[in-house]
Amino acid sequence: QKVPQQGIPRPIGEVMASVFQFIGPKGINFARYSIDYHLLRNYLHIVKEWGEERAEGSLPDYAKEIVDWYAKEEEGFRDLKEKVLELSSSSAAADGKMEDK
């Protein structure tokens, strides 16, 4: 079952954007943060959809370096990846049961 994605309400987004201007990363640090965030988000999505082996095989070298760094240094990322892998395997098992019927 797919849940439609909705963004946060616009007024809340505007308040958050204003706050982040003062407390968030700026300049080159914001660029690094943004690249890492989007790369890791996309990586986790591909792991969920394709499985870890296929996802790892599709990564360009520069992306693999970033993913490997977070996997080594950031416990939160490792935990999140494990949860995604659990979801992926339970989803694949459910799909297999549906195909059997």
For 73-92, the three-class secondary structure string (H helix, E strand, C coil) is: HCHHHHHHHHHHHHHHHHHH
Q: pLDDT by residue (tens digit) across 45-92?
A: 999 999 999 999 999 999 999 999 999 999 999 999 999 999 887 766
Task: Name the token pair of 49.
Answer: 């959809």
Provide the whole-model pTM: 0.70
Q: For all residues of the chain together, what is the average pLDDT?
A: 87
Q: pLDDT by residue (tens digit) across 17-44?
A: 899 888 888 899 989 999 999 999 999 9
